[in-house]
Amino acid sequence: MVGLPHYLIVAAIMMCCGVGTILLKRNAIGILLGVELILNAANVNLVAFNRYNANASGNLDGQIFAIFVIVLAAAEAAVALAIFLNFYNNFSTVDVERGDNLKG
Amino acid sequence: MNTTLAILAQNSAGAPDGATALINTALFYVFAAMAVGSAIGVMVSRNIVRTAVCLLMALLGVAGLYLGMHAEFLAAVQLVVYAGGTLVLIIFGVMLTNNSTFQLYRPKRLEVVVGSGLVAMLATVLITAILRSGMADRVVTSGNTYAIQTLGEALLGDYLVPFELISVLLLAVMIGAAYLAKGRRREGEGQ
Amino acid sequence: MPGVGKRTEPPGDASASPWGFRGVQIRQVDTPTLMQRVLFHGEPGSMAGLLWNVALILLVFLPFMSVFAMLAIWGERRVAGRMQCRPGPNRVGPFGLFQSVADGIKLILKEDLIPANADAVLFRLAPYLAFAPVFAAFMALPFAQDFTYEPRVSSGLFWILAILSVEIMGVILAGWASNNKWSIYGAMREACQMVSYEIPLGISIIVAVMAAGTLNMVELGKIQSGGIHTWLICRNPFVFLAFFVYFIASLASNKRAPFDLPESESELVAGFHTEYSGLRFSMFFFAEYAAMFVVGAIQVATFLGGWNDPFGLIGYYHAKWSKEQFDMGLIALNCIGSAIFVLKACGIVLVQMWLRWTLPRPRIDQVLYTCVKVLLPIACILLLGGAIWPLIVPDTVGMPWATYNPWSVADWQKAGATGALITQGLLAILVIAIKGSLIGWVAYAWFTRKTVRPRLSEAEPIAEVV
| CB within 8 Å of C285: residues ≥ 6 apart | C69, C73
Helix, strand, coil percentages in chain C from 3-state DSSP, rounded to 5: 65, 0, 35
Rounded Cα distance between C159 and C140, Å, is 8
Judge: C8–B84 Cβ closer than 8 Å, yes or no: no
Q: Is A3 on the interface with C (CB under 8 A)?
A: no
Q: Which of C3, C146, C176 sits opposite B11 (nearest CB)?
A: C3
Of C266, C264, C220, C267, which is closest to residue C239 (Cα–Cα)?
C220
What pLDDT is attached to residue A43?
A: 92
Q: Which range has the worst mean pLDDT, A61-65, A89-93, C37-41? A: C37-41
Backbone φ, ψ for residue C142 (5° rounding): -90, 95
The residue of C31, C145, C190 whose CB has the most chain B CBs within 10 angstroms, and thus the best one to mutate to test that interface, is: C31
Burial classification of residue B162, based on how many CB atoms lie within 10 Å of its CB (0-12 exposed, 13-18 middle, 19 or more buried) = middle
Instruction: Find the mean pLDDT for residues C439-466.
Output: 64
| CB within 8 Å of A51: residues ≥ 6 apart | A62, B69, B70, B71, B141, B142, B143
CB C75 within 8 A of CB C289: no
Q: Which range has the worst mean pLDDT, C32-36, C91-95, C359-363? A: C32-36
Rounded Cα distance between A67 and C428, Å, is 39
CB C74 within 8 A of CB C89: yes
Cβ-Cβ contacts under 8 Å between A and B: the total is: 242
DSSP for residue A95: B
Residues C89, C91, C96, C99: is their CA dihedral positive or negative?
negative
Judge: C7–A58 Cβ closer than 8 Å, yes or no: yes
The count of other CB atoms within 10 Å of the CB of residue C252 is 24
Judge: B138–A52 Cβ closer than 8 Å, yes or no: yes
Distance of CA C352 to the CA centre of its chain: 12
What pLDDT is attached to residue C33?
A: 59
The count of other CB atoms within 10 Å of the CB of residue A24 is 20
What pLDDT is attached to residue B191?
A: 38
The residue of C6, C7, C33, C37 whose CB has the most chain B CBs within 10 angstroms, and thus the best one to mutate to test that interface, is: C33
The answer to whether the bond into C258 is cis (omega within 30° of 0) is yes
CA distances from C28 to B72, C19, C236 (A): 20, 16, 47
| CB within 8 Å of C161: residues ≥ 6 apart | B80, C198, C201, C202, C205, C298
Smallest CA–CA distance, residue B9 to chain A, in Å, is: 20
**Distance between the two ends of chain B, CA-based, in angstroms?**
71
Judge: C18–A58 Cβ closer than 8 Å, yes or no: no
CATH classification for the domain delimited by A4-93, as one of 3.40.50.150, 3.40.50.2300, 3.60.150.10, 1.10.287.3510: 1.10.287.3510
Q: Could you write out the DSSP letters of every residue in B43-81?
A: HH--SHHHHHHHHHHHHHHHHHHHHHTT-HHHHHHIIII
Greatest mean pLDDT among C110-114, C211-215, C330-334, C343-347 lies in C343-347
C50: nearest CA in chain B?
B23
Percent of chain A with pLDDT over 70: 91
What pLDDT is attached to residue C365?
A: 84
| CB within 8 Å of A41: residues ≥ 6 apart | A11, A12, A14, A15, A18
CB B48 within 8 A of CB B98: yes
Q: Could you write out the DSSP letters of every residue in A12-78?
A: HHHHHHHHHHHHH--BHHHHHHHHHHHHHHHHHHHHHHHHT-TT-TT--HHHHHHHHHHHHHHHHHH
The residue of C50, C166, C220 whose CB has the most chain B CBs within 10 angstroms, and thus the best one to mutate to test that interface, is: C166
Position A52 pLDDT exceeds 80: no
DSSP for residue C226: S
Greatest mean pLDDT among A43-57, C41-55, C157-171, C405-419 lies in C157-171
The residue of A29, A55, A81 whose CB has the most chain C CBs within 10 angstroms, and thus the best one to mutate to test that interface, is: A55
Q: Which of C9, C20, C28 sits opposite A54 (nearest CB)?
A: C20
B33: nearest CA in chain A?
A10
Of A71, A33, A34, A65, which is closest to residue A48 (Cα–Cα)?
A65
Position A66 pLDDT exceeds 50: yes
Judge: B166–A2 Cβ closer than 8 Å, yes or no: no
Report the amino acid identity of residue C41.
H
Rounded Cα distance between B129 and A64, Å, is 26
Of B14, A68, A25, B177, which is closest to residue C10 (Cα–Cα)?
B14
CA distances from A68 to B167, B169, B173, C84, C95 (A): 10, 11, 15, 52, 55
What pLDDT is attached to residue C404?
A: 60
Q: Which of C12, C17, C30 sits opposite A57 (nearest CB)?
A: C12
Smallest CA–CA distance, residue C93 to chain B, in Å, is: 40
Instruction: Find the mean pLDDT for residues C162-179.
Output: 84
Rounded Cα distance between C107 and C282, Å, is 7
3-state secondary structure B109-141: HHHHHHHHHHHHHHHHHHHHHHHHCHHHHCCCC
Rounded Cα distance between A22 and B114, Å, is 13
Judge: A78–B177 Cβ closer than 8 Å, yes or no: yes
Q: Which range has the worst mean pLDDT, B44-53, B66-75, C1-10, C306-315? A: C1-10
Position C109 pLDDT exceeds 60: yes
Rounded Cα distance between C83 and C80, Å, is 5
What pLDDT is attached to residue C393?
A: 67
What pLDDT is attached to residue C164?
A: 85
Domains of chain A, residue spans: 4-93
Residue A92, by phi and psi: left (phi above 0), alpha (psi -120 to 50) or beta?
A: left
Q: At what angle do helices A28-51 and B48-68 cross, to 10 degrees?
A: 10
Q: Which range has the worst mean pLDDT, C143-147, C342-346, C435-439? A: C143-147
CB C308 within 8 A of CB C231: yes
Instruction: Find the mean pLDDT for residues C129-142.
Output: 81
Confidence grade of residue C421 (pLDDT, cut at 50, 70, 90): low
Judge: C163–B79 Cβ closer than 8 Å, yes or no: yes
What pLDDT is attached to residue B136?
A: 59
CA distances from A49 to A45, A62, B55, B141 (A): 6, 7, 23, 10
Judge: C9–A58 Cβ closer than 8 Å, yes or no: yes
Judge: C20–A52 Cβ closer than 8 Å, yes or no: yes
Q: At what angle do helices A61-91 and B148-155 cross, to 10 degrees?
A: 70
Of A57, A59, A66, which is closest to residue A11 (Cα–Cα)?
A66
Return the SS3 of C102: helix
Judge: C165–B143 Cβ closer than 8 Å, yes or no: no
CB C200 within 8 A of CB C382: no
What pLDDT is attached to residue C12?
A: 42
Percent of chain B with pLDDT over 70: 73
CB C123 within 8 A of CB B101: no
C5: nearest CA in chain B?
B146
Return the SS3 of C142: strand
Mean pLDDT, rounded, of chain C: 76
Residues of A in contact with B110 (CB under 8 A): none
Percent of chain C with pLDDT over 90: 2
The dihedral formed by the CA atoms of C87, C93, C99 and C102, expressed in degrees to the nearest 10: -150
Report the amino acid identity of residue B18.
G
Position C42 pLDDT exceeds 60: no
Q: Which range has the worst mean pLDDT, B5-9, B114-118, C191-195? A: B5-9
Smallest CA–CA distance, residue A104 to chain B, in Å, is: 22
The residue of A25, A31, A38, A46 whose CB has the most chain B CBs within 10 angstroms, and thus the best one to mutate to test that interface, is: A25
Side-chain-side CA neighbours of residue A99 (13 Å): 15
Q: What would the pLDDT profile of C246-268 be if each residue is shown by its tens digit?
A: 998 988 888 887 887 777 777 77
C20: nearest CA in chain A?
A54
Q: Which of A29, A57, A93 sits opposite B48 (nearest CB)?
A: A29
Side-chain-side CA neighbours of residue C378 (13 Å): 23
Judge: B64–C35 Cβ closer than 8 Å, yes or no: yes
CB B51 within 8 A of CB B42: yes
Confidence grade of residue B138 (pLDDT, cut at 50, 70, 90): low
Rounded Cα distance between B1 and B3, Å, is 5
Residues of C in contact with A6 (CB under 8 A): none
* Beta bridge partners of residue C378, listed in sequence order: none
Of C284, C260, C256, which is closest to residue C364 (Cα–Cα)?
C260
B57: nearest CA in chain A?
A37
Residues of A in contact with C10 (CB under 8 A): 57
Burial classification of residue C93, based on how many CB atoms lie within 10 Å of its CB (0-12 exposed, 13-18 middle, 19 or more buried) = middle
Instruction: Find the mean pLDDT for residues C218-234.
Output: 79
What pLDDT is attached to residue C43?
A: 56
What pLDDT is attached to residue C211?
A: 81
CA distances from C169 to C134, C136, C178, C179 (A): 12, 15, 14, 16
Q: What would the pLDDT profile of C178-190 be if each residue is shown by its tens digit?
A: 878 888 888 888 8
